Structure 1
Amino acid sequence: MLGRLRMSLDECESAYSMLSEAIFTPIRRGTDPVRIYNFLKADCRFSEEPLENCTQHTVWSIGLSQDALLRDTDPVSCKVFVCSTRGEDGSSAVIRSYDFRRHNPLYDICKIWEAARVTSAASTFFPNRQSFVDGAFRRNNPIRSANIESLDTWPGEERLIISIGTGAAPGQPLTGNLLALAKRLKDLVKDTEQTNQDFRAENNEMVRKGRLYRFNVTHGLTDVGLEEYRAVNKIAAVTDNYLDDPDIAEMVQACVDKLRSRGQRLGYASAGGWYV
């Protein structure tokens, strides 16, 4: 929404509020073994049809064809990529809106709604019959992918990375005969902060120069999962509390100051709240 569709933050928030109930209503409820097994296989925790319909409607609502490609050849457009996982061998895949010197097989065929779907739990098939499942199984925190993409796209340029987390682990621990698989799920979510810590340690110079920022609500959201769309007020309250923390407020201001100074130095312009 932000990058490819050029929607404002307010427009994104409004669209998400309207669409989240339709998209994140689980097919099965409870903790029965079939539901857990399907979730762990990335097999239909949420129905793919509402996600497709909602994404197509959002694309159409801003004046694009429902089958518009993720590809964007406008030279001043924001470059966007999404992470997915190949169903056949579990390897990572990157689907981009921009051309790339590396292997980029989906650049000319992937639609915007398909890009949204390849990051979800429902399998997605393309004409070459490859299947793609939830990118979180390999890139729950895609900061390393963002680093690689930016290094290859702007070699030798100074870069500023902002990483925004989605809160603490969603849902409750799973128990029973599938305990080992449940532990793997918890590890996947915990990995977001571990990945952040590792990346910061590996890129200490970026931290020192104020070019690496991480914002993540780490307390208060442990019982809120994707399907808890009715918890939007709680999410807002906990997030406001996080932003009220003096240390976080100072970090936000430092990030804003760095972005403003960088934009002025590079001759960036803003129009209607959208920065290019």
Structure 2
Amino acid sequence: MPVVRAQGGEISPPHCRALLLINRGRIIAIMLGRLGMTIDECVRAYRTVAKKAFTPQHLLSLPGLPKGAYSAKVLEAAIEQVIKEHCKEADCAAQQTQGISTAETCPHGGKLFRDNACVKTVVLAVTKENVDARPTLFRTYDKSTGFQDCTISQVARATSAATTFFKSIKCGRDGIEFIDAGFGYNNPCEVLIEEAQRQFPGAHQMRVLSIGTGLGEVVTIKDKRISILRALKKMATSSKKVADRLDAKYGDGGQYYRFNVDRGLEDVTLSDWEKASQISAHTLNYLQEHDRAIKQCVNGFVNTSHTQTAAKPEPPAETKQQIPQITRAIYASGRDMITQGGSKYNSDVKGKDVTQGNELKISSSQASRDYTQEGSEFGGNIQVEGSLVQRNIVRV
């Protein structure tokens, strides 16, 4: 399965560890983020889900049909099966470590989508009443009450209800009816960036990897009305305009990378699970042709990761001498956050009897100090009685 090789090393992450937002691969996003599955597990599970879900229930699939061409109930059951097979609850995890499948015994198929312990995961859907409105974001970390009782399978249904494929679904406290966000948001990267900025307002570096599902045919209009309708549909579901805007805005700075197979996948649709080998062949050819660009992308992500985990810089010696001598301070834990040149570092500290750094005097209940030395600013907001020590240090 995919192993990133760069500078002689190999990185095979168990799953995504950042803000995860995917549209056309929404089920995979849920597998990676909410269920914590590995990439290999996702590939195998998605093939099984697709094979079960994309078995036609109608002989014809026309836009005028009242229901989708495929069974939404079968899709939901297939997703719940995946949840059971990869359940992380203690009793199920114990069985799995012994090599015992939990597909038939797991009682947690109806798990809620929200979970603050998992990777921050977001998937999109739009309301059937107004498909031109902004998409609804289903977040694993949301605090609002409107969708707090939605299950994983319900959210997967809502974000997979592509018109003519699956019927819409009502979910949430108010029973809002949703379809997938294919009209206008097949490329959700702009939404991703907005959401990331809300969730990580203090972050100074951004890296976006956008992976397309293959370029479609050129949109042309002929003299027949049906040609106009088809062109409008292609324009509404195209991801190219978003990709072009983001490339113009972030591409030159190495913040945005877009890879999209440029030929061979024009006729592949959402339901073409049996064409997996064809998709793999065209994708492999594309990767080989764009090897240099992919290496640049990998190096960008690896270098960013190394920067963020680098050792914390020390303040100037002159400034250290100005910090008052510390009395004996006993505390349980502290967190330092240091920002330097746009890079952010976090470190957890545990201990007692601290004798260095900007700490509190035991005689005071709260201390706040600012030290300035040759353009460097150090500030602290510290609580006494031993529960927490926090420092923010910014080098300017």
Common topology (TM > 0.5): yes
| Residue aligning to 1:195 | 242
Moved over 3 A (4+): 26-31, 104-107, 175-181
Mapped partners of 1:266, 1:250: distance in 2: 25
What is the percentage of aligned positions where both structures have the same residue?
A: 28
**How many residues are paired up?**
250
- Per-residue CA distance 1:173-210 (angstroms, 9 max, x = gap): 9x986554332222133x20121001222x2xx32231
Please tell me whether the aligned partners of residues 79 and 153 of structure 2 are also in contact (alpha carbons under 8 angstroms).
yes
Equivalent residue, structure 2, for 1:96: 139
Comparing 52-61 with 160-169, which one deviates more in the overlay?
160-169
Q: Is residue 2:232 matched to residue 1:184?
A: yes
Q: Confirm or deny: 8 A CA contact 1:98 1:107 kept in the other structure.
A: no
Say whether the 8 Å CA contact 2:170–2:176 is kept in structure 1.
Answer: yes
Instruction: From 61, 69, 73, give the equivalent of 2:116.
Output: 73
What amino acid is the match of 2:63? I
SS in 1 for 2:210: strand
Partner Cα separation in structure 2 for residue 81 and residue 251 of structure 1: 28
Structure 2 equivalent of residue 82 of structure 1: 123
Distance across 1 between alignment mates of 2:119 and 2:303? 19
- The alpha-carbon deviation at position 94 of structure 1 amounts to 1.0
**1:125 is matched with which residue?**
170
The structure whose Rg is larger is 2
Other-structure match for 2:358: none
1:110 aligns with 2:150: yes
Deviation at 1:161, TM superposition (A): 0.8
Q: Which residue of 1 aligns with 2:64?
A: 37
Distance 1:56 1:195, change over 3 A: same
Root-mean-square deviation over aligned CA pairs: 2.6
Amino acid at match of 2:136: A
Map of 1:161 onto structure 2: 208
Which protein has the bigger helix share? Answer: 1
Instruction: State the AA in 1 paired with 2:245.
Output: D
2 CA distance for matches of 1:36 and 1:179? 15
1:222-264: per-residue Cα shift (whole Å, max 9, x none)?
122122222111111000000010xx21121122122222222
The runs of 5 or more residues in structure 2 that have no matched partner are 1-30, 89-107, 162-166, 311-396
Structure 1 residue 29: Cα displacement: 4.5
Structure 1 match to 2:84: 60
Which structure has the highest strand share of the two?
Answer: 2
Paired position in structure 1 for 2:252: 208
In structure 1, C-alpha distance between the alignment counterparts of 2:247 and 2:59, rounded to whole Å? 38
User: Any idea what the Cα deviations from partners look like across 1:26-76, whole Å, max 9, x if unmatched?
Assistant: 333556xxx1224xx8x41322112101111111111252111121212xx
Contact 1:96 1:107 survives alignment (8 Å): no
1:272 aligned residue: none
- Contact between 1:26 and 1:227, CA under 8 Å: does it hold in 2? no
Contact 2:60 2:69 in 1 (8 A): no
- Once residues 179 and 40 of structure 2 are traced to their aligned partners in structure 1, the CA distance between those partners, rounded to angstroms, is 29
Which of 254, 274, 288 is the equivalent residue of 1:244? 288
Look up the SS of the partner of 2:138 in the other structure: strand
